[in-house]
Amino acid sequence: MKKKRIHSFILFFAFILFVAGSCEKLEDLQLPPVTQTGAGTFGCLVNGEIWLPKSIISFPSIPKVSAELVREDEHRIWKFGASQGNSSSFYFGIYKDSLKNGTINIPINELNDIGLYFFSKDFEKPSFSWRQELPGELIITKLDTINMILSGTFWFDAVNDIDEKVEIRDGRFDLIIDQIQP
């Protein structure tokens, strides 16, 4: 009986060590490096706290980062972003037929040309979007449609329907383009 207890205790202790070792520690979180290789990375600071994408545990095959050029009506739209599974996500929509390397200063000429959003899927946390009067910048550092890479950096302020502000800073992405529609 005593051997069985010791054996059970050892198994339980090993299980606890395994679980604790596989948990990501908050202090280990870091923003990904700024790269241009199609590394599949995305990260930023949201009100000073690190925000990184992660997969939905029950659906690990659903991508946590994505980029695509799609056709909607007569317009081609670059859509790219990242998700934290069921909790929050970022979404960028650039309503331009030809996105180029370089800086897109926000605000740009027409509000309909660009959309920057931070969504929270938690109903207690409202969604935020960029408005034309708010500051921000999106820099495309690499757009390679042959090797299917979209990379860049960003920062912006966004507000929700009740004018609460969120500050998005030190953003960076290095994505593989999933599709390009003609």
Q: What are phi and psi of 61, to 5 degrees?
A: -80, -15
Cα–Cα distances (Å) from 143 to 100, 121, 175, in that order, read 7, 30, 10
What is the structure's pLDDT at 151? 93
Q: Which residues of the chain have pLDDT under 50?
A: 1-26, 108-111, 123
Instruction: Identify whether the C-beta of residue 67 lies closer than 8 Å to the C-beta of residue 60.
Output: no
- Residue 31 per-residue DSSP state: P
Q: Which two tokens stand for residue 151?
A: 């990379």
Q: Which of 154, 141, 170 is nearest to 35 (CA)?
A: 141
For 119, other C-beta atoms within 10 Å of its C-beta total 18
**Helices and strands (H and E) in the chain: how many:** 1, 12
Q: Which residues pair with 88 in a beta bridge?
A: 120
pLDDT at 56: 63
The pLDDT assigned to 171 comes to: 93
**pLDDT for 55-71, tens place per residue?**
765 555 555 888 888 87
